Amino acid sequence: MPRINSPSELEKLREEIKGKRDPNKPCITLCSGTACQASDSESVSQAFERELKRQGLEGEIDLRRTGCHGFCERGPLVVIYPEEICYTKVKPEDALEIVQSVREKKVVDCLLYTDPVTGARIKREPEIPFYENQQRIVFGPNRWIDPKNIEDYLFLGGYRALSKALFEMSPEQVLEEIKKANLRGRGGGGFPAGRKWEETKKTSREPKYVIVNCDEGDPGAYMDRSLMEGNPHSVLEGLIIGAYAIGSHEGFVYVRQEYPLAVENLEIALKQAEEYGFLGENILGSEFSFRVKIHRGAGAFVSGESSALMNAIEGRLGEPRMKYIHTAVSGIKDRPSCLNNVETWATVPLIINKGAEWFNSIGTDKSKGTKIFSLVGKVNNTGLVEVPMGMTLRQIIYDIGGGIAKGKKFKGVQTGGPSGGIIPEQYLDTPVDFDELTKLGSIMGSGGMVVMDENTCMVDTARYFINFCCEESCGKCIPCREGLRLLREILNDICEGKGKENDIELIEDIAETMRDASLCALGTTAANPVLTTLKYFGDEYETHIKEKRCPAKFCKNLIDYWIDSEKCQACMICLRNCPTEAIQGGKNLLHWIVQEKCIKCGICYEVCPPRFGAVVKLSGEPVPPPPAPGTEVVRKEGG
């Protein structure tokens, strides 16, 4: 491919690509994001290839492997174009029938999504409630693009914003547009991107750097990964536009090495962008030159913090520093360095193309545009969702997420990862944006949204996050390092039934010190999960401390497994599966657990057939005595 040297050449190429593509030609798209790959979309892809070849349809039906579509719960996902017929949980053996149906313009009913409420089968992807209630402006193109093929991105108008910025706008105008759009950083902080860009731009020292932060470390969050894997050019285009506005000629993409597919697709995208002249010297024939390097992160949560990340890029320890001088002014090698998150950069081309006014028409007063959330946990429709800012938690969890899994009761939703908090039911109608969730003591953060039900113990959840931060704290400052260690000890004690009366006071005291005195945001916000659970679920702490009881029956040391003699049908299943031979009894003889031998692994509880439900968890009550050895079972009628 010869490089493109002007905007008109770019549009000419785009027309050529469009000319080659027949909009009515059937295309089978297959989600190949990490989540679908984990459910073996690779084999499905191979099955389609074989089937198309076998039926001699390779020229008539296209096959495209795209990035993540978002509806991970139902993966691997297949969508047939132009009709947009969506098939879920597709297996390799379904390939034959699907290919046949495409050829005959029919629909494979049994693979369609079935609405759990109405029982109706839904044919078209946009009509599935999970998608219907979203507004996918940033994430949407993922489903049409083969991330390894730049032509797919160009077909959809890719790099038009770059061409517009370079040839129709001055750097100042680009900056002004981003400022007017009120684009706020999607990585969690919500700092206005335009102001950050301006700060770097105004700093006189050279060179200036621009950086993509793809060190997505929040457990239970994978928005940035899916965007980087599925549509890397959108991130690059945003970065190049930013570099032009700021006056930078060198950029970095910091991406976790734990995301091998993101690294791979990004490497390909970089190479293609260079070949086509979107990167390198005199981009698109303009005066502007810009290069990008990839830096793989080696696994440290704290390195996602901007100053720490810049240290890592220099090959040093990924530890943060005090930021009384912003990294926008003094970052990599003490040079002005502007860092934004993946989603923020990917939003930039949209704003340049459609204008700040359009962007301002979406969202709330102070939070504009959309946000991608990773909706996970005890929710029916796990996946990635993109909604306008201001949609309520209830709409996201119930209308899009389909409510709580297995008919359980909602208890709380954790937003913002380890720096966030847990929001209880009474605040489900809160609109989600940067400021509203902060008022509740949580944050919107980068977009993690973990739904919890009645079986989740809030004290244990707080302990989980503290333990996470404790392991990830770099240890540079004492409030964070020692505060977390102490909090972990106290919470461990509470979960193990060794909590003391004044523990809560102590927790609050330590949390306050950490918030006021820690060096970076990891430390200042680490206590949020504890503080919010104390605020909204304080009674659970009380029960753990005073009654030595875990209401959710989750904390191992506070529960006992027990077999209800009235329900046990002596089916031998738990007895055979118990790894420590703690279950006594026998054929036709009631089973019971020798408590001294029980390691509380939970196997008996899981294997006991639900129709018996004989194994139960007890907390805060004495274990009833076992039946007399050799007691015969009383069979249930029909059992």
Partner 1 sequence: MVGVSGLVDKVVDGYQRDKDMLIQILLELQRGFGWLPEEALNEVSRQLGVPLTRVYQIATFYKAFSLTPKGRHLIRVCVGTACQVRGAPLIRDRVQHLIGVEPGETTPDMRFTFETVNCLGCCAMGPVMTVDNDYHGHLSIPDVEKVIGVYK
Beta bridge partners of 449: 375, 415
Q: How far is the CB of 295 from partner 1 (least distance, A)?
A: 7
- Structure tokens given for 2: 């010869």
- In 143-259, alpha helices (H): 150-155, 160-168, 171-180, 193-202, 223-230, 232-246
Q: How far is the CB of 390 from partner 1 (least distance, A)?
A: 24
Closer Cβ to partner 1, 36 or 633, answer by number: 36
- Structure tokens given for 316: 């040093």
Q: How far is the CB of 389 from partner 1 (least distance, A)?
A: 23
DSSP symbol at 76? S
Cβ count near 123 (within 10 Å)? 16
Q: How far is the CB of 381 from partner 1 (least distance, A)?
A: 9
Closer Cβ to partner 1, 244 or 252, answer by number: 252
CA dihedral 545, 549, 551, 552 (to 10 degrees): 100
Q: How far is the CB of 412 from partner 1 (least distance, A)?
A: 10
Closer Cβ to partner 1, 384 or 589, answer by number: 384
Closer Cβ to partner 1, 6 or 577, answer by number: 577
Closer Cβ to partner 1, 187 or 377, answer by number: 377
Closer Cβ to partner 1, 177 or 250, answer by number: 250
CA distance 391 to 431: 5
Closer Cβ to partner 1, 111 or 457, answer by number: 457
Closer Cβ to partner 1, 1 or 317, answer by number: 317
Q: Cβ distance 88 to 111 under 8 Å?
A: yes
- Structure tokens given for 227: 């965007």
Compute the C-alpha angle 356/362/366, nearest 5°: 85
AA letter at 79:
V
- Structure tokens given for 114: 């079935």
Q: Which residues bind partner 1 (CB under 8 A)?
A: 34-35, 38-39, 72-73, 75, 217-222, 225-226, 257-259, 295-301, 312-318, 374, 376-378, 382-383, 414, 417, 448, 450-453, 456, 461, 464-465, 468, 474, 556, 577, 579, 599, 601-603, 606-607
CA distance 526 to 510: 11
Peptide bond into 129 cis (omega under 30): no
Q: How far is the CB of 57 from partner 1 (least distance, A)?
A: 31
Q: 3-state DSSP call for residue 363? A: strand
Closer Cβ to partner 1, 89 or 164, answer by number: 89
Q: How far is the CB of 225 from partner 1 (least distance, A)?
A: 6
DSSP symbol at 39? T
Q: How far is the CB of 34 from partner 1 (least distance, A)?
A: 5
CA distance 491 to 134: 38
Q: Cβ distance 306 to 200 under 8 Å?
A: no
Q: How far is the CB of 294 from partner 1 (least distance, A)?
A: 9
Residues sharing a CB contact under 8 Å with residue 56, sequence separation 6 or more, in sequence order: none
Q: How far is the CB of 425 from partner 1 (least distance, A)?
A: 16
Q: How far is the CB of 605 from partner 1 (least distance, A)?
A: 8
Closer Cβ to partner 1, 183 or 459, answer by number: 459
Closer Cβ to partner 1, 107 or 601, answer by number: 601
Nearest alpha carbon to residue 310 among 291, 332, 336: 332
Long-range contacts of 615-618 (CB under 8 A, 24+ apart): 615/561, 615/562, 615/563, 615/564, 615/574, 616/561, 616/562, 616/563, 616/564, 617/553, 617/559, 617/560, 617/561, 617/562, 618/553, 618/559, 618/560, 618/561, 618/562
Q: 3-state DSSP call for residue 388? A: strand
Closer Cβ to partner 1, 198 or 386, answer by number: 386
Q: How far is the CB of 73 from partner 1 (least distance, A)?
A: 5
